[in-house]
Amino acid sequence: MQVADSTSPRTILFVEDEVLIAMVAGAMISDLGYQVLEAGSGSQALKILESDAAVDLLITDYSMPRMTGIELVKAARALRPGLPVLIATGYSELPEGSDSDLPRLGKPFQQDQLKTEIERLLGEPESFRSS
């Protein structure tokens, strides 16, 4: 597994099955100065995590076909223990049995909300933003 060095931008794996949302959020993340890897499903995300790609943060949609965001997080952490995660969801409450301790970002979200959550999870100073 590769770890990004301090001179390269941190890498965020963004998982979203809705193409338009993925495009907009990916652009937001890039604008904040991060490298973005995009996956359209949980299985695509797991292939990235199984590779040697550097991933500093996983942001995933909760509601996706075939594999929910919670299921993806469990599989991702089996591959990369300690990987920070953020669940993006339009639900005010996750269904019963979901891991309620996971950080969540409500959809739709603004870039400043996304920035705050990314910085909090990565321990980035507010001055990190390179734009």
Q: What is the pTM of this model?
A: 0.84
pLDDT (0 to 100) of residue 131 = 40
pLDDT (0 to 100) of residue 99 = 56
Report in angstroms the alpha-carbon separations of 108 from 47, 88, 105. Answer: 27, 9, 9
Instruction: Give every residue of the chain whose pLDDT is below 70, as ranges.
Output: 1-7, 91-100, 124-131
**Domain 11-92+101-120 -> CATH class:** alpha beta
pLDDT (0 to 100) of residue 8 = 72
Give dist(CA 8, CA 42) in Å, integer: 26
pLDDT (0 to 100) of residue 91 = 62
pLDDT (0 to 100) of residue 100 = 59
